[in-house]
Structure 1
Amino acid sequence: MALKLFGLAMSTNTTRAMICLHEKEVDFEFVPVNVFSGEHKQTPFLSKNPFGLIPVLEDGDLTLFESRAITTYVAEKFKETGPDLIRHNDTKEAALVKVWTEVESQNYDPAVSPIIYEYFVAPFQGKEPNQSVIDTNIEKLKNVLDVYEAKLSSTKYLAGDFYSLADLSHVSETHYFMQTPCASLINDRPHVKAWWEDISSRPAFNKVVEGMTFGQK
């Protein structure tokens, strides 16, 4: 039985899970969830995720939500195919993958998500971007990217000289961020820019990028 992924093609969290599934060469069925009509807040979907958020992964009798938990599960279950995204044969490397995946979740995401919201989601909802929110989070993101620039000056990827979940977790949000007027924050940091050009050129991401367009339901 193929895995089922419930979500929205333009969603950063959904595409995070999709990229991982493609990296691991896993057959899965994508089940669109119409968040515009509130389908994710209705009883059928709430039985899969009581918080009413996408994505959700179903693997037989197992139901998972939270995109980073989904990617970890996929990387572990299918560790024999595709790239080793969790470094399961090296305890130290695996620990570093977890560290930098947490960095993405706790430092990068909280700074970049509000910027993406103001430039993409707010206009999509007929609102004007809040420049104050953008400016505040640009300052936060600068500090995070300064750390990344230093780290990536010594290793090709965040956890070491290997592509992992730590890098994969950044792809969806950074894709949108690079379409904002703030893209210079990455382009002006040569090691971060080289890293981004590398991770965004992978075939797994190219399989989902066409659906990442605000304005298409």
Structure 2
Amino acid sequence: MVFKLYGMGVSTCTQKVVMALKEKSIPFDFININVLKGEQKSPENLARHPFGKIPILEDEDGFRIFESLAIVRYIENLEPNKGARLIPADIKTAALVEQWVSSSVYNFYPSAQGIITERAIKPVAGRPTDEAAAVEHRKKLVPVLDVYDKQLAGHDFFVGNDFTLADLSHLPYFNVINRVEGDLIKERPNLAAWFERCTAKSTWLEVMGFVQGAPKCH
């Protein structure tokens, strides 16, 4: 089965899905949706995603699913035994994975995305950075990262020594943060070691190759 993935190469949510597809060695055709040009709000994309966003995964039967974490869970359920086990079979370990996935959504994402918007997205879009907002987002993110640094002490990934959805749900955002405010990672040794392990994975290097080869958004 060959999937169609609608998204944008530099989109962190798109990268989550690409990483999962690479982990499971699932081929896909990529259809670029340029968010900076508003293509996500086109009638065609609204038919695929009622909120006019990306990414969307579509299979050969026309089945579609949106929301990056929902897509990744679907991919994991298709091929649970290929590549990394993104959701462990053990229910207690799986619960811990979901605990940190939830943390990525509620504790980490709002401030992380705020920094990314101000420091990475706005400059590319030709819009001025709101420095006060960037500083405030950073201030709110710091205690979250301190918790993460403690969590990552003594093991390789968020839940034990295996790469899971808990790590994948964070990785693309940290990749941008490393570029725009990298001291947030470097000042926390356990977090820095985790980031180095994740970005050294062959599948993540494939994701970065995909991003380089994807159509440019500007």
Give the TM-score range, shorter chain.
Answer: over 0.9
Partner of 2:65: 64
Tell me, in whole angstroms, the C-alpha distance in 2 between the residues paired with 1:111 and 1:26.
Answer: 32
For the pair 1:17 / 2:17, whether they are aligned, the reply is: yes
Partner of 2:182: 183
Aligned residues: 215
Shift of 1:125: 2.0
Deviation digits for residues 143-182 of structure 1 (CA, Å, limit 9, x no counterpart): 10110111111332112221101101111111111111x2
Partner of 2:199: 200
When normalised by structure 1's length, the TM-score is 0.93
Contact residue 48 and residue 56 of structure 1 kept, 8 A: yes
When normalised by structure 2's length, the TM-score is 0.93
Tell me, in whole angstroms, the C-alpha distance in 2 between the residues paired with 1:97 and 1:9.
Answer: 26
Structure 2 runs not aligned, ≥5 long: none
Tell me, in whole angstroms, the C-alpha distance in 2 between the residues paired with 1:93 and 1:188.
Answer: 29
Partner of 2:144: 144
- Letter paired with 2:86: L
Tell me, in whole angstroms, the C-alpha distance in 2 between the residues paired with 1:83 and 1:208.
Answer: 15
Runs of 4+ in 1 over 6 A off after TM superposition: none
Contact residue 159 and residue 166 of structure 1 kept, 8 A: yes
Structure 1 runs not aligned, ≥5 long: none
Contact residue 112 and residue 137 of structure 1 kept, 8 A: yes
Contact residue 178 and residue 184 of structure 2 kept, 8 A: no
- Letter paired with 1:66: E
Tell me, in whole angstroms, the C-alpha distance in 2 between the residues paired with 1:99 and 1:32.
Answer: 32
% identity of equivalent residues = 34
Partner of 1:76: 77
Tell me, in whole angstroms, the C-alpha distance in 2 between the residues paired with 1:46 and 1:23.
Answer: 29
Partner of 1:108: 108
Q: Secondary structure at the match of 1:179?
A: helix
Distance 1:36 1:148, change over 3 A: closer
Shift of 1:91: 0.8
Partner of 1:119: 119
Contact residue 39 and residue 45 of structure 2 kept, 8 A: yes
Partner of 1:38: 38
Tell me, in whole angstroms, the C-alpha distance in 2 between the residues paired with 1:145 and 1:37.
Answer: 33
Tell which deviates more after alignment, 118-127 or 43-52: 118-127
Shift of 1:212: 4.3
Tell me, in whole angstroms, the C-alpha distance in 2 between the residues paired with 1:122 and 1:33.
Answer: 18
Contact residue 6 and residue 32 of structure 1 kept, 8 A: yes
Shift of 1:211: 5.2
Shift of 1:126: 1.7
Contact residue 11 and residue 212 of structure 1 kept, 8 A: no
Contact residue 36 and residue 125 of structure 2 kept, 8 A: no
Shift of 1:141: 1.0
Tell me, in whole angstroms, the C-alpha distance in 1 between the residues paired with 2:28 and 2:174.
Answer: 24
- Letter paired with 1:37: K
Distance 1:212 1:177, change over 3 A: farther
Higher helix share: 2
Shift of 1:41: 0.8
- For the aligned residues, what is the CA RMSD? 1.7
